[in-house]
Structure 1
Amino acid sequence: MKKIAIIGLPNVGKSSLFNRIAKQRIAITSDFSGTTRDIKTHKVYITDKPCLILDTGGLDKSSELFLNVHNMSMEASKKADVIVMVVDGKLLPSEEEKKIFYALQGLGKPIALIINKIDNDKEMERAWEFDEFGADHVFPISVSHNRGVSALLEWIGEFLPAPEGSPASESEESLCDEDEAWEEDSAEEEEEEIANIVEMVEDVGNQQINVAIIGRVNVGKSSLLNALVGKQRAVVSSVAGTTIDPVDESIEYNEKVINFVDTAGLRRRGKIEGIEKFALMRTKEMLERANIALLVLDSSEPFLELDERIAGLVEENNLACIIVLNKWDEAMDDFEKVTAEVRHRFKFLSYAPLITVSAKSKQRVSKIKDMILSVYENYSQHIPTRQLNEVIREATIRHQIPSDHSKVVKIYFATQYQTKPPRIALVMNKPRSLHFSYKRYLANKLRDVFNLEGSPILLYPRAKGERDNEQENSGEES
């Protein structure tokens, strides 16, 4: 599949263009220079042809961190099939930008110069300043006002092969001519044109396992992602908070598609500032769509209260979980002592299996993929109603449900009505009288019989005839 790389200096509008083509807010955009640091990839259809668009980090060499970002961005351009270099049309051309453009021209690939922030006809005069680049393909556009983008998409489409068995795209016929596109009232018309040109890929969430890598800053999440996918996918730096925008990468493993998302490292609330606020919001969005969380802890130093708070996000989102003790080659204590502390601190994740790894040396990292498949199978498990009721009945016989002011509390029957994670309705005569400790007891009995390692179990007491969704707020994760 053809790759389209979006390249340029920081804060010229690369991520905004990426989001415009993707037709959704995927990449974080802000006025802070250097918001994008890792390569973000998304699949779209341009002129009815599939391709991958790559949002790269700003080309900046001002520090060790941004030098790594610069190198990854240039490497992405070398692997791309088409390059679009974005410049800020409100500024004069810089010598640095010209050097970058000439270097990209030397790659011998189709390349376009995108002059962004040309918001109206009067500002077209500034676009002429960029003639000195000598670019063959120049597109003055305004991403924020959605002007001129359709012409760029049409140009990109010329380099994309049509899908096998598909007729050539006829969407060009619906494009405005160049003069009409630059009219003041053309924004709405062009929005409609882009809707015809760019088609989002259908949601494949049900066909893949979404794994979120979470933890506080500098525990090695990005190094773990790189080790899992077998390539330099995320920028790694000693600077705390290197990852801002979630970085995702999919791999095929044992006939399954695993999509890893390296989320931004989380800090104490009082220390979150600047673009990290955007990162925190995006991390929470990713967790809402995840199936499994890899909770990464730094075994080379004492665990913190912040680790527990981050782990609480796993419980809050009802995720399956694997606890990853990273930097085990630098561990302070022996295995028994460390695991005992983990089990004590993270009691609410008692169902989560634990593994010790070193992302830096890749020690035992490959085992995580097998654990993910196993945990996902448990997370997706549907327990037959007959077997479920047999276990519940035996559990209530062995340990009777505490009465409610001398009134007997009964479970009539149980049924699982949803998976990912398993959600079980307990139809009762007095649903509000079932204590959370007894629900925990029932969940443990279910774990003794059925293989549910790594997955939470949600139990919802309800009265006869009561809808499941009315009891969601009274459910408990076990």
Structure 2
Amino acid sequence: MEKQLKKIALIGQPNVGKSSLFNRIAKQRIAIVSDLAGTTRDIRKHEVEILGKEALMLDTGGIDETNDAIFSNVKRKAVECAKEADIILFMVDGKKIPDDKDKELFYELQNLGKKLALVVNKIDNDKEKERLWSFYEFGIDDNDLFGISVSHNRGTKGLFEWIAQELPEIEDNSKISDIIDYQDLDMGIEDFLSPEDDINKTVNENEINVAIIGRTNVGKSSILNALIGEERSVVSPISGTTIDPVDESFEYKDKKITFVDTAGLRRRGKIEGIEKYALMRTKDMLQKANLALVVLDASEDLVDLDEKIAGLVDQYGLGTIIVLNKWDENIETFKDFEKKIRRKFKFLFYAPIIAVSAKTGRSIERLKDKLVEIYDNYTQRIPTSALNKIIEEAVIRHALPSPNGNYLRIYYATQFETKPPRIALIMNKPNLLHFSYKRYLINYLRDNFNFEGTPIHIIVRKKGEREDNEIDEEGFFQG
């Protein structure tokens, strides 16, 4: 029998942030986010899970009182949607003064007798909370008014709790119980992720998206051709030639390996602003990928641009392999060159280094195997029991510090996300845990689980915490 889910309608004028909130709740980039007013016109539906409870989220088009037939139709659909919903989230722009059109529609929605919240978005800091007073003009109860900032990840925890109170318990909770215990985590782990972080890239487990990055003339196109086994990537000698993005794929060990945006590999030669172009193209590729090959020229010395490009991989949290191309032209020993790389790219200490020759085909098969292996590490989920056993061992071997006499205690740990692996540490005084101890825990995890090639993100938080504070610099750590 088809399950009957409670419906949540998200309603408001254009460009108030509805699509961004929809994406945050759905944990995916489903709704189209744009600064252009009126981007969302159709009603989008998506099953969501809010603090361990399921619902059907309805994102309506922005309502705008104009004579335009499109927006008139959008308003009609939005009101009809609200009538069918069990919960209504009416969203307004906190940067502006209360709008008469908003108040008129809000009163109309109040008469429906549904559970109704007024969500004031773009309250980006504590000072801007003062703007909330003007929105009491709507006649809203204090418990149903929420000042949030979707883009800065503020205040959403209280809103999610308010919604969850109106949703029934999930009969079969197995889907989430092996991921995270929401009661033990005090039902708020989502608020400790940045908006970018908690939007997962929805990728089939058998599909690997790979970005081949590096400065010009290091041999990216040659490596692509060697991996695919065909002369597909044509190098253009014309400076500034614009070529549309092209993806190249091949099957290997039951995986579909796709090299994204390979047009970026085809542009060569001296072009104006080459460094800026290289970084821009790299960002485009990394946005689409979950693994990256950082290609270096073994026949030349490392330069600052190598470091800048590799640093982007760290920012995007991708699985990584460092590839030394043209190794047949290098007379140094591998260990000597490896030391240079490790000194230059300390932030990619977890990435394996493979020396290849695209010209002769040396180690290309090994590189294919390593791509599959790193992706498996990148997507793995450690069982909570095994994870806590290792954390307990680590604490026994190296006791938690006692800063200024404070007693620190880790209650438990849980991995709540993959791609890359993200682990929450629940403890009594998270702000006092020094980053060096987090680094120790990450290294201990690496000693006991195969996380080669992938970063590990650690989030620490206090059990029973209720404040809607932004995460501080010490709250999030990766290594």
TM-score class, shorter = 0.5 to 0.7
436-445 or 401-410, larger mean C-alpha shift: 401-410
Amino acid at match of 1:227: A
Kindly indicate whether residue 278 of structure 2 is the aligned counterpart of residue 264 of structure 1.
no
Match of 1:252 in 2: 251
Using the alignment, how far apart are the partners of 1:304 and 1:276 within structure 2? 12
Match of 2:444 in 1: 445
TM-score normalised by length of structure 1? 0.53
Using the alignment, how far apart are the partners of 1:279 and 1:246 within structure 2? 15
User: Structure 1 274/313 Cα, relative in aligned 2: closer, same or farther at 3 Å?
Assistant: closer
Give the 3-state SS of the residue equivalent to 1:414 in structure 2: strand
What are the within-5 Å matches in structure 2 for residues 61-210 of structure 1?
206-210=205-209
Give the 3-state SS of the residue equivalent to 1:363 in structure 2: coil
User: Structure 1 311/206 Cα, relative in aligned 2: closer, same or farther at 3 Å?
Assistant: same
User: Structure 1 407/265 Cα, relative in aligned 2: closer, same or farther at 3 Å?
Assistant: farther
Using the alignment, how far apart are the partners of 1:397 and 1:413 within structure 2? 14
- Asked if structure 2 preserves the Cα contact closer than 8 Å seen for 1:417 and 1:424, the reply is yes
The alpha carbon displacement at 1:283 in A equals 3.1
Q: How many correspondences in the alignment? A: 274
Match of 1:430 in 2: 429
What are the within-5 Å matches in structure 2 for residues 396-407 of structure 1?
396-407=395-406
What are the within-5 Å matches in structure 2 for residues 29-44 of structure 1?
none
Using the alignment, how far apart are the partners of 1:266 and 1:424 within structure 2? 39
Give the 3-state SS of the residue equivalent to 1:369 in structure 2: helix
Using the alignment, how far apart are the partners of 2:367 and 2:417 within structure 1? 26
- Asked if structure 2 preserves the Cα contact closer than 8 Å seen for 1:241 and 1:264, the reply is no
The alpha carbon displacement at 1:368 in A equals 0.9
Kindly indicate whether residue 210 of structure 2 is the aligned counterpart of residue 211 of structure 1.
yes
240-249 or 353-362, larger mean C-alpha shift: 240-249
User: Structure 1 392/322 Cα, relative in aligned 2: closer, same or farther at 3 Å?
Assistant: same
TM-score normalised by length of structure 2? 0.52
User: Structure 1 281/237 Cα, relative in aligned 2: closer, same or farther at 3 Å?
Assistant: closer
What are the within-5 Å matches in structure 2 for residues 336-415 of structure 1?
336-415=335-414
User: Structure 1 455/310 Cα, relative in aligned 2: closer, same or farther at 3 Å?
Assistant: same
Amino acid at match of 2:417: Q
User: Structure 1 323/241 Cα, relative in aligned 2: closer, same or farther at 3 Å?
Assistant: farther
Using the alignment, how far apart are the partners of 1:260 and 1:372 within structure 2? 12
Deviations 1:335-359 (A, max 9, x none): 1111111122212111111110011
- Asked if structure 1 preserves the Cα contact closer than 8 Å seen for 2:326 and 2:357, the reply is yes
Using the alignment, how far apart are the partners of 1:242 and 1:301 within structure 2? 26
- Asked if structure 1 preserves the Cα contact closer than 8 Å seen for 2:275 and 2:305, the reply is no
User: Structure 1 354/409 Cα, relative in aligned 2: closer, same or farther at 3 Å?
Assistant: same
Match of 2:301 in 1: 302
Deviations 1:102-139 (A, max 9, x none): xxxxxxxxxxxxxxxxxxxxxxxxxxxxxxxxxxxxxx
Amino acid at match of 1:423: R
Amino acid at match of 2:248: E
Give the 3-state SS of the residue equivalent to 2:403 in structure 1: coil
**Runs of 5+ unmatched residues, structure 1:** 1-202
Kindly indicate whether residue 310 of structure 2 is the aligned counterpart of residue 311 of structure 1.
yes
Amino acid at match of 2:453: G
The alpha carbon displacement at 1:432 in A equals 1.5
RMSD of equivalent CA atoms = 3.1
Match of 2:477 in 1: 476
212-221 or 457-466, larger mean C-alpha shift: 457-466
The alpha carbon displacement at 1:264 in A equals 3.4
- Asked if structure 1 preserves the Cα contact closer than 8 Å seen for 2:221 and 2:265, the reply is no
What are the within-5 Å matches in structure 2 for residues 38-53 of structure 1?
none
Q: How high is the sequence identity, in percent, across the aligned residues? A: 59
The alpha carbon displacement at 1:397 in A equals 1.7
Give the 3-state SS of the residue equivalent to 2:312 in structure 1: helix
Give the 3-state SS of the residue equivalent to 1:405 in structure 2: helix
Structure having the higher Rg? 1
Amino acid at match of 1:346: F
User: Structure 1 400/376 Cα, relative in aligned 2: closer, same or farther at 3 Å?
Assistant: same
Using the alignment, how far apart are the partners of 1:476 and 1:263 within structure 2? 34
